[in-house]
Amino acid sequence: MPRLAALPSRLAAAVAVAMTVAACAEAPVTGRQQLILLPEGQARQMGVDAYRQIKSEKGISGDPRYTQPVNEIGRRIADVSGQPGLAWEFTVLEDEEPNAFALPGGKVGVNTGLFKVAENKDQLAAVMAHEVGHAIARHSAERVSRQAIVQVGQQAIGSQYPGMADILAQASTLGLILPFTREQEAEADHIGLMLMAKAGYDPRAAVQLWRNFETLGGQRPPEFLSTHPAPGSRIANLQQIMPKALEEYARSRYR
């Protein structure tokens, strides 16, 4: 998932004050309490700008083998997302890396390379629903807010102990930033599993998808050094919530 533009300096400067007045948000499906300091309108505009730039840099695929299923799945998942008011946009990008991403405001990109791993519509829906989960849970804005809080803490401690700046930065990354991004990824898996089931796509395909990624191989850092859970961890988490997803799948109006 691409990073947003650099954190606005006024946000970092106002974090201490904003934390005392900011209302907590609640993530959909999981109900997790969130602290989001970045205004939604500003986050959406950042998402629109980043999306436009990525499309320009990578190029947009017009191959109907890719665009037809992506548009069909995108419409169905957006329809059950609980946020029909977002300006949803699903674009296939010319990129051989098997990946997809979401940006604030309902902007979702799917690389052509993903079709090497997602073997059918259900597996493709697992990836796209995961990305929609990021969007509706406002994970980008929440991550920017967390990073602002960490920055303020680092600056406060660093001003008192200048020699500890590098150690503090490393500790913050390993102990705060990376665990939180993995938590968001696991949450997007959870939200996405329920969304794909509600949209009439077999949630069991999500497990097979991650087995496909595991088979794909490639070098991966240890989980504690990664922004994403390891495929095995993701599969275990998905299997725990699978019974609820299958109940949702059985009720789907799309079946």
Active site residue 96: no
Q: Classify domain 9-181 by CATH architecture.
A: 2-Layer Sandwich (3.30)
Residue the block writes with tokens 């993995």: 182
- Each residue's pLDDT expressed in tens, for the chain with a length of 255 residues: 444 444 444 444 444 455 544 557 899 999 999 989 999 999 999 999 999 999 999 999 999 999 999 999 999 999 999 998 899 999 999 999 999 999 999 999 999 999 999 999 999 999 999 999 999 999 999 999 888 877 776 666 666 766 665 665 665 555 567 777 899 999 999 999 999 999 999 999 999 999 999 888 665 555 544 778 888 999 999 999 999 999 999 999 998
- Please state the pTM of the whole predicted model: 0.84
Give the residue among 192, 178, 193 at the shortest CA–CA distance from 228. 178
pLDDT, position 158? 64
Sorted by where each begins, the domain ranges of the chain are: 9-181
For the record, the structure tokens of 152 come out as: 């303020």
pLDDT of residue 179: 75
Contact 254/76 with Cβ under 8 angstroms?
A: yes
Q: Which of the following is catalytic: 131, 142, 185, 187?
A: 131
The count of residues in the chain is 255
3-state class (DSSP) for residue 91: strand
